[in-house]
Structure 1
């Protein structure tokens, strides 16, 4: 059995504390007697408390020792031990016999037996233990075997966990130990789960983070427990939420400030005992009147339970009383459980009680009041370190004196600490000095007041110094700013000059490069012209680059510019010539669905020629679609396709590989300088003219020069107008010459497709119009003379500015919202003034012409324009044209082509005419109004028409014919008397209506496969046998809002009606009442209906004339 360890030094500690307490009491009494010189009553409470504590401590330790001794297991002495004791002489014993079993690992305390008791009584004490090691070799001692057995039994007794423990105790001592079952259970090994075991906290949903106007989600109770800060960090509480409680749980109240000189009378309690120990000197009596003391009950003895048999358990806490004198009044008799600790260090002398002193003194008007008691006490307390404190005091006096602080209270203790801190360091900072001031708020308010520094003793000198330094600073700062401005300007000038020089070098290099490219272009064009016939007869590769090389200013205003460039996908239909291979450079990405559609469309050519649907063939080996890799690299630069291809080396390399060793040439769109660069890089000729020539004669003023040199009829107009004065004069002269013209058009030079047009009705708002007509009638044929027109011209010129300002209207409101903005653009780039045809029925005609490299002129197509939103914008064509005599049209086209050929124009270009009936002469007029020197959309669509129908277009007669269908051979038995009627020849005449500008936003929600199934369900398709029907061109694979459509029929009216019906069906199928979308279908349908009405009237008019 084991006992709780007890420290034998605890009794010694008590005695040492008693000695210390008595020593302190003695010194206290001596000081009292020496200082006062007379006897006084001495408080014996402290002495009695110390004596009582000492007595209680000694009693408690004695009881512990007795208890330990009584709880030991003792054994009776053996017979051998008693006989041995009898034979042993008293002189053979030492003064004390000590049996120390600590070498065996025992925790039993030492046992001391007095020899004197044994000699007197001649008896062996019942507490004597058997010495297993003594007398090992003597005849009376145990044998070595017995000694070994005894040691083994002792080890078994000392080890409670040994299996022989119960047996040895039972055999030797007759004690049956209780069976202690180890109730500890082995903790089962569990599988370690990796990962976080903390649940994710709820955060603000993404919808609320994107749209803060949405209602935030409710806060659960679990999230609310995390606190307001957590909710705000996770976004569940908006950052601007008002979290202040109303009313506030914390209320403000004025604090009462007491005078620092007033002191409170704090009642003194009974003096505490000296030291930490306690003792009892009840037997000591002094000749003084003691204070009455309350009787203290005897401290109870708490029984200790034995230590557990398990070695793994920690020792039980022991009950000790607290030693603190300050808490002895409350818990002197309470027992506090503490754990058994390591042996305490040697006892030390307790430190005397420290009393915190607080020193405060004042500095008034920058002077220290050295005569005050507070300062004297402070000086006496810190006399040993007074030298450093004096330095700090001088700094404080200087600071407070400079700012004329009337009164400042100083914390002496902080000042002493500051003096120690800055003893060997640099002088203290102002912030550090202000830290020792107790009324810091009042002092800071004075220090921060403007001009306070100048109220000190040397305030005038400081003010003068401040003024001088401020002026010097201002002067130096001004000089420095001027120097920095000049330095910055010099740097800007230097950088600008360097950039100018570099840009000049780059421009020079580019100019030389452009010159070299232009010379190479001319050389290749010359060779191209010489070998054109040979190229046309042999296999060749045509590289189509549908680039719109407009100026940068125009390209930035075109929406979906790349889709606009891709409206010429029908260029692939050049495959109708078996000797042609096509490389099409696409400005947009082509998906598999679109590529599959064009594979099937181009594979219809053999089936169209044979009339059998099963004769389709794969044409994928004869055309390649190349997409430059740079189309997505410059999304905001609005670059044309030629520029993007120039910056796509992989696409260029692929084109070079496909054209290597073959006859090839490039068919461009709108010519651009980068087309020359591509031709130089690919070493291929271009079927087009120089970019400068193309841009010059494609302007409105340039086309007027071509028409003037070609001597074709043009509307009354004036071109190259660049000033407002010239605009008014030209318009007034045109009105004077043509009093019957109601409306005039104003066209910008560098625009296309009717975007830069404005109109104004002049004569309805002209007050002198009736008078001018009378004057014209009065002069008759002499009205053409300037002297006859002079009075009317002056009046018209005076009215023109107001008429334009009030009635001129731009066509395209998106680009030019008002006449002033249009006029600004008109005067910046120039334009033309043109008379509108004086008729309500005007038909616009577009003729596409090709000038081959060998100088031959070919009419590619001609058609009547179909308009949608604007009468000045071509939306589609009906081919061939049927509005004017073909001979008259061909003669005008030949003149224009000849004039273009004289100006080195080559390739494809389009001429726009208008035709109407002159109201005065009732003759049909044909005016040339526009010229576009580039590959037009209608050229590619005409190629698609010829490809899917297998027909030919005779532009001299303006007729479109298809080959007749092949007849199937059938065996027929002719009867003798049967009347055989001759069969009518099939109608091979065809008309086509085409457009590449079908726009409907709802097309984006329908896949192409679903769209074609819908068309087949409504009978919209192309009949290969009859060579009529409808075909589509897919333009955009990304947005899918625009498509092209071609309808072929036997009659013009039927074809127009079929085209309008197709538009109506598609609109109804892809639209809903609540989702109509943006579309130009309805405007086109209305224009087609107007054309149908005009056509019916034109057909009825000859019948009426014949009837008459």
Structure 2
């Protein structure tokens, strides 16, 4: 009998969501790192299909000897890239973990979601299904869309993730509704609209309710990593001197020129909607923290981490990297709000990873934090946390929010997906390993410091890679990050001169 998606989800077991359960778990995990998001968003990512490597740190599950993992990618992963992660796993021989890891690929580097490619290859799906034990298998993925839901039904394997029917809670409008429901502070903003005339009206009403507002931000309802956000300067428009009708005409013209990253953003306003939100300014310091959690089968909520996000790009809204953990003055408040949002999501039936992004402003000795969006998927902070958990045997202290090593030493890290330089182009992963080894900057578990890498598939073609640098303090983690980056760029430049 063929089971429906809901019937398959009912097979999920609470222990399947917990990393290194240590209680004799016995299951097969199909890891599906598909970037199943809007094609316009994928087009903005250099080397998009290589981002499927970011979930390699999910191999942490192989620390449990009863776990087998099937990892699928668009193109075959080089052995060096896979072994570099396996060799970091404490407590399990690499050869033992490697025997329980099965790699498959679609041999298709086109800029389409991996799940779509798999659904086009029934023979490949048959080979994968033959490895997955009925009743002991589940799928984990970056994000759950109708594509992943369909794949779950085709394979007849449950999926540890949120039903796409609940995806509204991860949109900009859904996030604001969730914050209001949970009593989590968030900026003033508008309802969702679907054309520029209504967006101009919403912006005018926001300013009229807050006439001191000098800037606002326009958000596509389904934008990711800040790529669907754009600021709108209100102060130069001198709105107070205009009549209501003139104000709306002026705002309508200004909206036409906002620097929204997707070139077809006006069409996306019609398709998915957009809203406008107050830009939070003022204060003596400003930061962009976030909190991450997971919802286990059965509804238990676990807060996993907090971060300071590193933002940049043309609008200052694009995610570039992060620091763990978030700053101490508001870390516990972040965790409290994160748990509240997670429990509300769990009551709706959400599962697995979620994150909440905030803006924090300091006024004297007081910090004001405002929530700005919820993400119902893995994100840029997921794989650094996976890396930390994969290469240590520590745990997150639920009270302080610090990650403690087995000896009680706090661990910190700095991570980025966006180390890009022309001198890195042409370097192979083996060259990177040589450079880091010679500089003594690879992660050393004895010293609890060093760097680990991802996105190595982007290195030779695009001169781009990702890196997580760990240390026993925030300053040490930043030093390791800076020293590793400098060593890579210097070595890349030297090799370029030799080749030239």
Q: What's the counterpart of residue 897 of structure 1?
A: 342
Q: Deviations over 1:723-762 (max 9, x none)?
A: 3343233222221222333210001113211112221221
Q: Aligned partners of 2:120, 2:205: CA distance in 1, in Å? A: 51
| Counterpart-to-counterpart distance in 1, 2:44 and 2:87 | 36
Q: Is the 8 A contact 1:810 1:822 kept in 2?
A: no
User: Structure 2 residue aligned with 1:1039, among 452, 461, 471?
Assistant: 461
| CA distance in structure 2 between the partners assigned to 1:685 and 1:767 by the alignment | 54
Deviations 1:378-413 (A, max 9, x none): xxxxxxxxxxxxxxxxxxxxxxxxxxxxxxxxxxxx
* 2:444 matched residue in structure 1: 1023
Shift of 1:866: 1.6
CA 656–835 in structure 1, closer or farther in 2 if over 3 Å, else same: same
Contact 2:57 2:85 in 1 (8 A): no
Cα drift, residue 834 of structure 1: 0.6
Pair 1:1003-2:424 in alignment: yes
CA apart distance, 1:1055: 1.4
Q: How far does the alpha carbon of each residue in 1:747-778 deviate from its partner, in whole angstroms, 9 at most, with x for none?
A: 11132111122212213432637xxxxxxxxx
**2:86–2:94 Cα contact (<8 Å) kept:** no
Q: Which residue matches 2:472? A: 1050
Counterparts of 2:146 and 2:329 in 1: how far apart (Å)?
38
Q: How does 1:137-536 map to 2 (within 5 A)?
A: 520-528=4-12
* Residues 1018 and 809 (structure 1), Cα distance of their counterparts in 2 relative to 1, 3 Å cut: farther
Pick the aligned partner of 2:358 from 894, 913, 917.
Answer: 913
Aligned partner of 2:127 in structure 1 is 654
Summarize the Cα distance change of 1:564–1:741 in structure 2 as closer, same or farther, 3 Å threshold.
same
For residues 477 and 291 of structure 2, what CA distance do their matches in structure 1 show?
A: 20
Say yes or no: does 1:717 pair with 2:189.
yes
RMSD between aligned residues: 3.1
Alpha-carbon deviation of 1:1017? Answer: 2.6
Greater fraction of residues in strand: 2
| Structure 2 residue aligned with 1:766 | 238
Instruction: State the match for 1:686 in structure 2.
Output: 159
Q: Are 2:62 and 1:580 equivalent residues in the alignment?
A: no
TM-score of the superposed pair, with normalisation by structure 2:
0.88
> What are the Cα deviations for residues 828-870 of structure 1, in whole angstroms up to 9, with x where unaligned?
5321101111226321122221111101001122111123435
Alpha carbons of structure 1 residues 616 and 756: separation in structure 2 relative to 1, 3 Å: closer
Note the C-alpha offset of 1:685: 0.8
Q: Structure 1 residues 960 and 727, CA, compared in 2 at 3 Å: closer, same or farther? A: same
Q: CA deviation at 1:553?
A: 5.0
- C-alpha change, 1:1007 and 1:648, in structure 2 (3 Å) is same
**In the alignment, structure 1 residue 754 sits paired with structure 2 residue 229:** no
* 1:946 shift after superposition: 1.9
SS in 2 for 1:709: helix
Once the two structures are TM-superposed, the CA of residue 954 in structure 1 deviates from its matched residue by 2.2
Q: 1:702 to 1:807 in 2, by over 3 A?
A: closer
Partner of 2:146: 673
The residue number in structure 2 matching 1:867 is 311
Measured after TM superposition, the shift of residue 659 of structure 1 is 1.7
Tell me the distance in 1 between the aligned counterparts of 2:17 and 2:376.
23
Q: Is the 8 A contact 1:844 1:915 kept in 2?
A: yes
Match of 2:97 in 1: 619
What whole-Å deviation, never above 9, does each CA across 1:129-186 have from its counterpart, x for those lacking one? Answer: xxxxxxxxxxxxxxxxxxxxxxxxxxxxxxxxxxxxxxxxxxxxxxxxxxxxxxxxxx
Looking at structure 2, the residues matched to 570 and 673 of structure 1 have their Cα atoms a distance apart, in angstroms, of 25
Is contact 1:541–1:662 with CA below 8 Å preserved after alignment? no
CA contact (8 A) 2:425 2:463 kept: yes
Partner of 1:991: 412
The one of 205, 211, 214 equivalent to 1:739 is 211
Does the aligned pair in 2 maintain the 1:843–1:883 contact within 8 Å? Answer: no
**Change beyond 3 A, Cα 1:1028–1:1072:** closer
Q: How does 1:834-853 map to 2 (within 5 A)?
A: 834-839=277-282, 841-853=285-297
Deviation at 1:898, TM superposition (A): 2.4
Tell me how far 1:825 sits from its aligned partner: 4.1
Secondary structure, aligned partner of 1:1062: helix
> Where does the alignment leave 5 or more consecutive residues of structure 2 unmatched?
none
Q: Following TM superposition, by how much is the alpha carbon of 1:706 offset from its aligned partner in structure 2, in angstroms?
A: 1.9
SS at structure 1 position matched to 2:335:
helix
**What secondary structure does 1:885 align onto?**
helix
Which residue does the alignment assign to 1:854? 298
CA distance in structure 1 between the partners assigned to 2:47 and 2:222 by the alignment: 20
Kept in 2: contact 1:710–1:898 (CA 8 A): no
The secondary structure found in structure 2 opposite 1:881 is: coil
State whether residues 230 and 317 of structure 2, in contact with CA within 8 Å, keep that contact through their aligned partners in structure 1: no
Cα distance between partner residues in 2 of 1:925 and 1:709: 19
The runs of 5 or more residues in structure 1 that have no matched partner are 1-515, 608-614, 770-793, 965-986, 1076-1108
Quickly say closer, same or farther: Cα 1:739–1:1039, change in 2 above 3 A.
same
Deviation of 1:1068 after TM superposition, in Å, equals: 2.2
Return the alpha-carbon distance in structure 1 between the equivalents of residues 14 and 448 of structure 2. 38
Structure having greater relative contact order (Cα 8 Å, sep ≥ 6): 2
Distance 1:903 1:810 in 2: 35
Give the structure 1 partner of residue 169 of structure 2.
Answer: 697
In the TM superposition, what is the alpha-carbon distance from 1:1048 to its structure 2 partner?
A: 1.1
Distance in 2 separating the partners of 1:1074 and 1:1012: 17
CA gap of 1:576–1:764, structure 2 versus 1, over 3 A, is: farther
Contact 1:606 1:617 in 2 (8 A): no
SS in structure 2 of the partner of residue 653 of structure 1:
helix
Q: Distance in 1 between matches of 2:341 and 2:245?
A: 34
Quick check: 1:801 aligned with 2:249?
yes
Give yes or no for contact 2:88–2:390 (8 Å, CA) kept in 1.
Answer: no
Q: Distance in 1 between matches of 2:384 and 2:45?
A: 22
Decide whether aligned partners of structure 1 residues 723 and 1031 sit closer, same or farther in structure 2, where only a CA change above 3 A counts.
closer
Contact 2:358 2:369 survives alignment (8 Å) = yes
The residue correspondences of 1:938-957 to structure 2 (distance < 5 A) are: 938-957=381-400
The question of whether the paired residues in 2 share the 8 Å contact of 1:760 and 1:808 is answered with no
Alignment partner of 1:1067 is 2:473: no
Distance in 2 of aligned mates of 1:640 and 1:915: 34
SS of the equivalent of 1:875 reads strand
Residue deviations 1:31-84 (CA, integer Å, cap 9, x gap): xxxxxxxxxxxxxxxxxxxxxxxxxxxxxxxxxxxxxxxxxxxxxxxxxxxxxx
**Pairs within 5 Å for 1:808-819:** 810-812=258-260, 815-816=262-263
CA contact (8 A) 1:575 1:581 kept: yes
- Whether the aligned pair in 1 keeps the contact of 2:142 and 2:377 (CA below 8 Å) is yes
Indicate yes or no: 2:91 matched with 1:606: yes
Change over 3 Å in CA distance of 1:867–1:1039 after alignment to 2: same
Aligned-partner Cα distance in 1 for 2:409–2:45: 41
Task: Report the CA distance shift for 1:800/1:1001 in structure 2 as closer, same or farther (over 3 A).
Answer: same
1:663 to 133, 136, 154: 136
SS at structure 2 position matched to 1:528? coil
Deviations 1:546-592 (A, max 9, x none): 11222455445655331233332222223234443222112222234
> When the two structures are superposed, what TM-score results if normalisation uses the length of structure 1?
0.42
Q: 1:802 to 1:824 in 2, by over 3 A?
A: farther
Whether the 8 Å contact between 2:306 and 2:335 is mirrored in structure 1 is no
Larger Rg over CA atoms = 1
- Which of 26, 50, 59 is the matching residue for 1:539? 26
Contact conserved, 2:219 with 2:274, CA < 8 A, in 1? yes
Partners of 2:8 and 2:310 in 1: CA distance:
39
Query: What is the CA distance between 1:913 and its match in structure 2?
Result: 1.2
Larger displacement relative to structure 2 (802-811 or 949-958) = 802-811
- CA 1:652/1:809 → structure 2, altered by over 3 Å: closer, same or farther? same
Q: State yes or no: 1:878 paired with 2:344.
A: no
User: Structure 1 residues 950 and 824, CA, compared in 2 at 3 Å: closer, same or farther?
Assistant: same
